[in-house]
Amino acid sequence: MNVGQPLYIVMLGAPGAGKGTQARLLSEALGLPQVSSGDIFRENLKNQTPLGLLAKQYMDAGGLVPDDVTINMVMDRLGRPDCARGVILDGFPRTLAQADALDQALQSRGQRIGVAPLLEVADEAVIARLAGRRVCRECQAMYNIDSSPSQVEGKCDKCGGELYRRADDDPETVRNRLFVYYKQTAPLIGYYYAHRLLVPLSGDRPVEVVQADLRAAVDAAASAQVH
Ligand code: AP5
């Protein structure tokens, strides 16, 4: 895909809506990096860095890591060479302050966000999905014991790594994550709608059907950037 200028895609949706699943497929299809703030925090925690240990306090409770820490971390990531053609943002921005910081950083380089797809899934469905989610410790491949189980229980089909359940996926923490989502992240729906970037998609359909609609939305945004 030739987009002329870098294509910035902001994936929106509640915890468990499928942002990571869809961002990963889109990343493979477009050759753009997936930048997931949650993955960066988890990688730091795995390596026991000060950032990881700080983030853990918030993640375990289902709350948000403070804006200043998160914004600095993501901006640093966006400055790396592999982001030069664009990026698929998954889990960032998550507050109006983060959205504003992102806009300002892009504006200072004469760039802007291309599209903000919103995956819509009912609360009860995401609670059920997250209860069944399993993630590979090695390659981060995603499974679900109900809808997309691995061939051998507890082992990754792709690399043989151990599958684990995220500490913040128990139903009580998920309810708090949903509460935090509605309070702090849902205002971004209005923000991107007002900027004419929002594309709502039903996320409660098979993964490949959602991906096809997402690709159409992204292709339209890329072609609007060129013309
Ligand atoms: P993060 O890792 O970003 O978690 P999240 O936003 O809560 O999103 P999830 O990863 O839980 O869900 P997802 O939408 O990616 O769904 P997935 O594709 O995995 O953040 C974790 C924590 O880090 C936060 O709580 C916060 O503390 C901190 N943090 C991160 N970013 C931050 C920020 N910017 N500011 C401050 N703090 C931040 O799918 C879920 C399951 O459903 C899987 O099992 C999957 O297989 C299945 N599934 C996916 N699609 C479908 C489908 N169409 N049909 C059926 N099942 C499906």
pLDDT digits (tens, 9 = 90+) for 69-127: 999 999 999 999 999 999 999 999 999 999 999 999 999 999 999 999 999 999 999 99
Residue 19 falls in the annotated catalytic set? yes
CB atoms within 10 A of CB 216: 12
Tokens 């990754």 sit on residue:
156
pTM of the prediction? 0.95
Residue 50 makes CB contacts below 8 A (sequence gap 6+) with none
C-alpha span between 124 and 120 (Å, rounded): 12
Q: Which atom of ligand 1 is nearest to the CA of 119?
A: 14
111 φ/ψ angles, rounded to the nearest 5 degrees: -120, 170
Given 19, 56, 77, 129, the catalytic residue:
19
pLDDT score, position 129: 94
| Residue 165, C-beta contacts closer than 8 angstroms, at least 6 positions apart | 133, 134, 135
Query: What confidence tens digit (pLDDT) does each residue in 37-69 have?
Result: 999 999 999 999 999 999 999 999 999 999 999
User: How far does the chain reach from its first CA to its final CA, in angstroms?
Assistant: 14
pLDDT value of residue 195: 97
Candidates 56, 94, 129, 134; catalytic one: 94
- Structure token digits, residue 161: 């790594």
Which atom of ligand 1 is the closest one to the Cα of 63? 27
- The closest residue, in CA terms, to atom 49 on ligand 1 is 18
Q: Is the dihedral of CA 135, 150, 181, 179 positive or negative?
A: negative
Phi, psi of 116 (to 5 degrees): -130, 85
Question: Is residue 227 pLDDT above 70, yes or no?
Answer: no
The per-residue pLDDT for 84 is 94
Q: For residue 2, is pLDDT > 50?
A: no
Q: Which two tokens stand for residue 95?
A: 């507050």
Per-residue DSSP letter, 36 = E
Q: pLDDT at residue 208 above 80?
A: yes
pLDDT at 15 over 60: yes
What's the pLDDT score for residue 21? 95
Element holding 89 (H helix, E strand): strand 86-90
pLDDT of residue 5: 87
Q: Is the pLDDT of residue 3 over 60?
A: no
d(CA 227, CA 222): 9
CA–CA distances in Å: residue 77 to residues 19, 90, 186: 19, 13, 24
Place of tokens 């004469």: 110
Res. 1: pLDDT tops 60: no
pLDDT digits (tens, 9 = 90+) for 128-169: 999 999 999 999 899 999 999 999 999 999 999 999 999 899
Dist CA 212 CA 57 (whole Å): 37
Handedness of CA 13, 71, 24, 11 (dihedral sign): positive
Shortest-distance Cα residue to atom 52 of ligand 1 = 207
CA dist 94 and 170 (Å) reads: 21
pLDDT over 90 at 176, yes or no: yes
- Tell me the CA–centroid distance for residue 169 and ligand 1, in Å: 9
Put residue 151 in one of left, alpha, beta given phi > 0 → left and psi -120 to 50 → alpha. alpha
Indicate which atom in ligand 1 lies nearest the CA of residue 203.
53
